[in-house]
Amino acid sequence: MNLNSYIDNMRDDIIKSVQELVRIKSVQDEPKPGMPYGEGVAKALDKALEIAQSLGFRTKNVDGYVGYAEYGEGEEMIGVLGHLDVVPEGDGWTYPPYGAEIHEGKIYGRGTVDDKGPIIAALYGLKAIKDAGLKLSKRVRILFGTNEETGSHEIAYYLKHDEAPTMGFTPDAQYPIIYAEKGITMFNVVKDFNKKSSNIVIKYIKGGERPNVVPGYCEAGLDVKEANKKKEIQDKLEAFIKEAGYNLKAEEKDEMLVIKSVGVSAHGSLPHLGKNAIMQLFLFLDRIDLEDSDVKDFIHFFATNVGMETDGKTFGIYLKDETGELTFNVGTIQLDENKGVLGLNIRYPVKYKYEDWMNIFEEKIKTNGMRIEDMLHQPPLYFPPDHPLIKTLSKVYEEQTGQKAELLAIGGGTYAKEMPNTVAFGPVFPGKPELAHQADEYIEIEDLILNAKIYAHAIYELAK
């Protein structure tokens, strides 16, 4: 019996295991003893290790940071690294985000494609090798990460306390194979408000879930003293909506005028696929009659230098090479009467250095009375096309799909940047939608099963 037949026979078990994991809300939360990323993430890790044990694998929990299932013997080790943490569900779901419901051949839920479904597919791929009794010369570990969505800090902990793979892959991007990943930054731009407005006071602006997600919702609370000013703002809003076509509305609440902005969420690496609710709101607020003040300057700066652009052109930091353009996402806003904090996610092409754009960006920010805080930076990743890992995975992909293995460069960041000798391989097939971080995330069951087959053959070819 070949590996694919073993996978086909495990179809129901694969689906059930994915559903069990997706039903656990594993968004990062406050740490607890033995749970560095909170209770939900810890529950998902426990469940994954429980599934792995039930399949007959040796398992280990590395202090709640990473867990793994191991099979085989040998000095060298092949690693398949996925993550169990997810981004917050956000709004706009047709089906319950943690329901793992099946509709029309798709499992719906946060984490189905990013990344619980794919890592379970890899686990069952290894189970097929075990059941088939195929001889391996290397050990294989299926590694369950827990902090990929908020910095991948757990990998440094794992590498300090355990073993790095000889080589491996992470099922957390697209097919065919990712040979290059853009450099990634996430950080806050902060401005203190000393000079304040009195005629129209912006009491707050809040919106966005994470810097690496295009915000789908944002709102501002305005304290407008004069009734005629309220009417003027509402009239301006109507005119703005007609002109720009954005989804904004105003309503009175608790003696404030609340302006609500609805956008379209998308992954921070593909901001052009979304509509930024924060920037829509900034573009409108920039038009209203605020007195000269720090908050007015803050809004005006971003409305004029960024607006709805996603490539940094107007800001003066546009870059492009064969791996694509620089991408610029304004992901979060926390603003009150004293301070504004914008969470940004900027990704830059692999042939460029961090300094090539950051020096310009920082100079402009500082000149306008702002500062950068909480910088997280991952340099770009590049594998030559003739690398043995790339060649092996290309061969497997072509044999299992009948399609040519074109090499891809992405703006998304994966564990490949954190774990040595690792590339991103799957799970999204060419032509299929990018659903990570979006409402109604799903994985097609046929794609899930095909992933398990591809990963079984990939693991075997690397470990035989």
Catalytic residues, which ones?
85, 148
Instruction: Identify the CA nearest to 279 among candidates 344, 233, 229.
Output: 344
Per-residue tokens: 161: 């306390």
Query: Does residue 314 contact residue 322 with C-beta atoms inside 8 Å?
Result: no
Which residue(s) pair with 423 in the sheet?
169
Q: Cα separation of 193 and 203, whole Å?
A: 12
